Structure 1
Amino acid sequence: MEFDSIRPAISGAIGGIIATWLTSRWARNLPSHYKGWSRDYLLRRHRPAIWTANALFFIGLCSGIALYPMGGFANTDWRPLLLGFGLASVLPLLALAVVSLLSGRNLKEAYVAFALGQGSPLWATYGILGAGTVAFFFTLASLGPESVNPTHWR
C-alpha cells in the first residue's frame, strides 16, 4: 500500500481527533442556563425541532452527494458538494423556525437549544450554518441550464 492511497484516511483521522478535542473543550465552557432555563430543560422542550433539524442536515448532505451520479455532474464539479453543504445549513435553520412556530415555542430558545445540543457555542454553530447559507445561494446562482450534462438525461 502506497502512502498516497492512505493519506486521505490519515488526514480524516487527524481532522476527527481535532474536532473531538474542540467539541470536548467547548462543551466544558457552554452555559448551563439560558434565561433561567436549564440546558437539559431546553433540550427536552425543543427535542422535536432539534431532531428534525439534525435529520434535515444529513438529508442535505446526502442530496448534495447524490447529485453527482443522478444530476449528470462531473466528478470534479464543486457545485453539488457546495449545494449539499448549503442544503445542510439552510434546511436545519428552516426546520427550527417552522417546528418552533407550529408548536408555539420561542424561536430564539430553539436556536440556542440546537447549538447547545450540538455541543458547540452559538458563534461556531451559526457561523458554520451562516457560511453554508451563503454557499447555498451562491451555488443556486451558479446553476443554470448549461451546468447539467444534457446527454445524461437521454
Structure 2
Amino acid sequence: MGSAFTVNVDLYDGSTRMGRVLRRDPELDAALVQLEGGAVEIAGLPLCHTNAVRVGESVIAIGNPLSLSNSVTQGIVSGFRVDGDRRLIQTDTAINPGNSGGPLMNRQGAVIGIVTEKIASKGIEGLGFALPIDQVLHRLKVEVVNRDRATSDDCGNPIATF
C-alpha cells in the first residue's frame, strides 16, 4: 500500500472496488480503508478484545496465500509476544505470503487480530504472528462502539461496528 491514497479492494465475490485510505500506521503496516463507488452489502465481522484471547484457543486465518483466494487455515494461539512497541499474538496457523492483512479469528468468528508475518527458516514451521485487533484500532484512532458487549466469556459479540 505504501503511501497510496487509493487501493484496489478484492471482495469475496470476485469483484474489485476502489478504496480510499482514511488512516494508516506505517509501523504496523495497517490502514483503515473506505470502499468507494456506491452502496455495497458486506457483512461485518465482530471484533474481540485481546484480553479475552487465551493460549490454546482455536483460531482460523483467512487470506490469499500464493494468490489462492479466500483460503482458510486453522491452528491455535501459541502465545503472546512483544516486539518493540508492538504486541503480537503468536499462532501455529499456517501463514504464508498473501495471508498478511487478513483476519485471525476465534472459533466464534470474531476477529482477534490482523495477520502480519511469519518466521521461516530452516527447520522452523508454524510460527506466525498477528497484531491484536484492539491495538490496530487504537493505533488507527478508530472509534469503538459497543465496547461493553464483549466479555472474556463470549467474544462472539462485537466491540466495534463500521
Q: TM-score, normalised by structure 2?
A: 0.22
| Structure that is richer in strand per residue | 2
Q: TM-score, normalised by structure 1?
A: 0.23
| Structure that is richer in helix per residue | 1
**More relative contact order, 1 or 2 (CA 8 Å, 6+ apart):** 1
